[in-house]
Structure 1
Amino acid sequence: MHTMKTIERYSTGTYNNQFGDADFKSRNLLDLLKGFPEIATSFKTYADVGCGDGTVFVSILQKLPRLGCHLEEAVGYDISPPSVKSIDLPPGSQIVQADFLSCSLCYDIVTLIDVIEHVLEPQEYLRAVAKRSRFVLLHIPLDDRLSVTLTQQWNYRLQDVGHLSFWNPASAITMLTSAGLEPLGCLLTPGFLAPSGRVRLSQKIMLPLRWLAWRLNPGFTAATIGGVSLAVLCRSRALALDDGSTAT
């Protein structure tokens, strides 16, 4: 029953990027990507799967030229109806209401930003995505942590947040590898500093403690009190397109 309610929120448009996290997420993802300049400059086509209202998608498009990446085509996919919020899309980009896996196009890079935790069968989903992109860049919340276990937040994170799977850094990397992806680099990101990480009273109370723990040891913070996500850049083992190829 809870799973059906979770699925409905994505197809009706009630789940969206409503907290203003676009700059935070795009900045952290590109911080990881800039460590791979040869890869970043090779991208010509890009798909953001599960793009929501498109704000993170657009923020990434605005920042990519700083890495020497000049795209020829960029598409944001989401199964929800188009958001009522109007955004200015850069030339050569569009947002479509469609299931990415039902389309036949392949891309140089696909981003899955806080998406895979909402998927019923994440490993199979990633395996399918790996056949459609040379590289995959993910942002994954790390819910497999001590604070969730001690406070028994599983039902809250399933019903209210819609997270169907919980990972820690090791289990997330294992899942990606098992799905036919080769992790090239990863980065812990302080999600507790994003606007969505400071909404509830409990988040605000935990903010000073999380900040102190983060300054001392990000890995310890992720494993215990949380508020941390994992950015991962992967190469697809299933699809090897020549550099400079376009979506076909």
Structure 2
Amino acid sequence: MDSIIPLGQKNTLAEYMILSCADNRPPMLPKDLYDSWKSRMELYMQNKEIGRMILESVENSPLIWPTIEENKVTRTKKYVELSTIEKIQADCDMKATNIILQGTTLTKQERECKLYNAFDKFSHIKRESLHKYYLRFTQLINDMNIYKMKLEQFQVNTKFLNSLPPEWCKFVTDVKLVKDLHTTNYDQLDAYLEQHELHANEVRIMRESNQDPLALVANH
């Protein structure tokens, strides 16, 4: 009779079986399971060639490169000037760094997903000034630029305009008529809209008091 292994144990055994022969990529970093990731990463490193030295590079910090005096000036040795043992250690340091960076790639992917989601759901906060709205949008776009996330200019401008509340409707329509959203930037759109913020606020107040906002805009 075959022994029955709980599903969770089967998964764990499978992970370590894969890990023992995984040469192409290290285990990815589970966001809230650092201890598990640490153990798996150690096993992965030990399974690599000169794995013990790679692991020691992580645990004991990388090689402090030796120096040499040349023409009465002390400088760091070049790689070709290192001893055989020092070269091996330097190579291990590089491999350890690459393994850790590859293992944390998922963190970058998760961050990008969150930023795209934040962009899709970005909207105006009730009673928020145009300036604060602009600053929040700018921060989001800057964060996306850090990760070199591709967004078309038209896409950014359209999001900036269409996420404004209803009191901005007429002024958004106006700016779309006078600005080319493919070539302008949202800084220029913000500068244009700022001229009409007082009127937009008046429209909001009229709407909240159940008066006709269109009549107010027509009068202006």
Using structure 2 for the length normalisation, give the TM-score: 0.24
User: RCO higher in 1 or 2 (8 Å CA, sep ≥ 6)?
Assistant: 1
Task: Name the structure with the higher helix share.
Answer: 2
Whichever of the two has the greater Rg, that structure is 2
Query: Between Structure 1 and Structure 2, which shows a larger proportion of strand residues?
Result: 1
Scaled by the length of structure 1, the TM-score of the pair is 0.22
